[in-house]
A and B are shown apart, each in its own frame.
Chain A
Amino acid sequence: MPLDKVTQVAQTKPWHGSIPVYGQYTFGIAGERFFRDIKDKGRIMGAKCAECNLVYVPPRIYCERCFGELAKWLEIPNRGVVHTFTVAHADLDGNRLEEPIVVALVKFDGVYGGLVHRLGEVEPDKVTIGMAVEMMLKPKAKRTGSILDIDYFKPIRA
């Protein structure tokens, strides 16, 4: 018997479904330390690999280069430079943003890694790679211990 294929679009029907999956994600040793210090002390903590002479931000307990264990914590200055950035014109649902968001990877002096966040108090067309920026935190009372405790990074005026 030959195969009868569907030849009318009106005859094609899908089943619609969704996956309600809810969970939590453990911060772990390094995440706990990082977010506790952001929330309570307003400072960025990194973890140092003495073997590779690399300081990790965000911190972690292992080195991705030598696989060594990292137990040395360092405070990182809250000023860095824009390593790269984009001007996002669409939101997560694909809708156009009325106000585009500048998203950047901010790197810190002597640090391997950095932080991804938005830039504020700047026009998108004024942003450049290498621009000096500083971390702006939410007021202490509004911090919850998350990456959103950082409000944004803003350019440092010369």
Chain B
Amino acid sequence: MQRRVAVIGIGYTPFRPISPDLSFKEMMFEAAQKAYEDAGVCPRHDIDAFVTCEEDFTHGRSIFNIHTPDNIGAVLKRIHTLPAESLYGLADAYMLINTGLVDVMAVESHSKASNMLTPNYLIAHAMDPVYNKPLSYNPYFIAGMEMNRYMHERGVTKEQCALVSVKNKANALLNPEAAYGDRISVDDVLNSEMMFWPLSRLDMSSPADGGIVLVLACEEKARILCDKPIWVRGVGWCSDAPSLETREWGEAVYARLAGEMAYRLAGIEHPRKEVDFAEVDDSFSYKELQHLEALKLCRSGQAGFMVEEGATKREGEFPVNVSGGSLGVGRLDEATGLQKVLEVVLQLRGEAGKRQLPNIKVGLAQSWRGLPANSGAVAILSNE
């Protein structure tokens, strides 16, 4: 029998461009301490299993994940680590709790991007070593090529993409934890430094540091421990072909298939009608539009018009990235997906402060793993 699973605790550090005061281990400790306090649990006694999601080389070291148990209270307990985007960690916890082997589980991810002194090389070394890497291009060329093809296939304009940056940076001004809130205009985006045409500087998110921990529990424990459980109604994930040569460049197929899986589990037939708001990946401005189409939150080719009409603004009919998204909060490496979940949970709890959305019941969080990957996950959460 399917068990219901809920988020019962959240903990996070502020998201900042730099964090010279805390080591990554102390950042994890701070986020975990807050999450366990919020859930009212002791990790040594109450949490059955843990999962952490980080990539080795983003920390400038190898086999980095042997170093994650001690600072979240997981020593001598069941922990597994994912070199993957953190929404996959949430999906793991959802599944493990569903097996019945585990009742309460913690999911951790963080970014210490400011410690990486040569970040472009991290992405460059992830490309095919024989066919792509020897060309020695700045790896963001992939985003430029994808944006170009997406705009070409769907008739989306550079102005419409720029509106995403304008919206998300403005949203971030109401998020005290966001690092890159700003009031900018479409012209600011269009006139910003041309990086990888058609991708301009302000179409690109900037990195941020920060840690996030979530505590999840089965229904029985959630009812005892928490007065505002946020239910995980469905999860999904998918990887498209990894090679640049055979992948799909216009449509985000990985997001479409991940969304279909999550909708199926959540029993959602008409996403746009049954979901009230979404936090989707916006690592680059066009990505938000591409992902909204893939997730069937608008009709194919309509995402540009949707942002133009203001439908995705905080006060619009379908708010998208009210937290500020990665463009406004900062991109948090593998923790980016958990930041999306965090915002959905805050909103569904009614704890989102000045950016609180009214009358919401169902929210969607979606992640993309980032360059040069084309994989991602989706979670659907609800407060009832």
Contact = CB atoms under 8 A, between A and B. Distances in A.
B195 A89 contact: yes
Given A64-B241, A88-B141, A90-B196, A31 B246 contact: no
B197 A87 contact: yes
Interface in A10-43: 12, 14, 17-19, 21, 25, 27, 31, 35
Interface string A69-92: 000000000000001111111111
A58 B196 CA distance: 25
Contacts of B305: none
A116 B131 contact: yes
A148 B135 contact: yes
Given A9-B20, A92-B138, A129 B149 contact: yes
Contact of A58 (B131, B141, B152, B198): B131
Contacts of B198: 86
A137 interface: no
Contacts of B149: 83-84, 129
Contacts of A129: 148-149, 152
Contact of B137 (A5, A9, A92, A124): A92
Interface in A99-123: 100-101, 103-105, 112-118
A94 interface: yes
Interface string B108-129: 0000000100101100100001
A116 B132 contact: yes
Interface residues of A, number: 46
B130 A85 contact: no
Contact of B196 (A12, A88, A148): A88
Contacts of B118: 93
Interface in B176-196: 193-196
Contact of B152 (A17, A64, A84): A84
A136 interface: no
A64 B131 CA distance: 17
B136 interface: yes
A25 B195 CA distance: 31
A104 B293 CA distance: 25
A103 B140 CA distance: 11
B21 interface: yes
B138 to A, nearest CB: 5
B359 interface: no
B141 A103 contact: yes
A6 B344 CA distance: 32
Interface in B181-222: 193-199
Contacts of A88: 137-138, 140-141, 144, 195-196
B145 interface: yes
Nearest to B60: A17
Contacts of A83: 149, 249
B155 interface: no
A104 B145 contact: yes
Given A17-B60, A19-B61, A113-B246, A93 B21 contact: no
Given A12-B21, A14-B20, A114-B245, A90 B135 contact: no
B2 interface: no
B138 A25 contact: no
A92 B118 CA distance: 9
A86 B144 contact: yes
A89 B194 contact: yes
Given A12-B20, A105-B244, A84 B148 contact: yes
A35 B129 CA distance: 14
A116 B135 contact: yes
A114 B149 CA distance: 15
B300 interface: no
Contacts of B199: 86
A85 B196 contact: no
Nearest to B243: A113
Interface string B17-40: 000110000000000000000000
16 contacts: A31-B130, A83-B249, A84-B148, A84-B149, A85-B145, A85-B148, A86-B145, A87-B144, A88-B137, A88-B196, A89-B193, A90-B195, A105-B145, A113-B246, A116-B245, A118-B135
Given A86-B143, A129-B149, 16 more contacts: A6-B21, A14-B115, A19-B57, A25-B130, A31-B130, A56-B246, A58-B243, A58-B245, A88-B196, A89-B193, A92-B120, A93-B120, A103-B137, A103-B145, A105-B249, A116-B245
Interface of B: 20-21, 57, 60-62, 115, 118, 120-121, 124, 129-132, 134-141, 143-149, 152, 193-199, 241, 243-246, 249
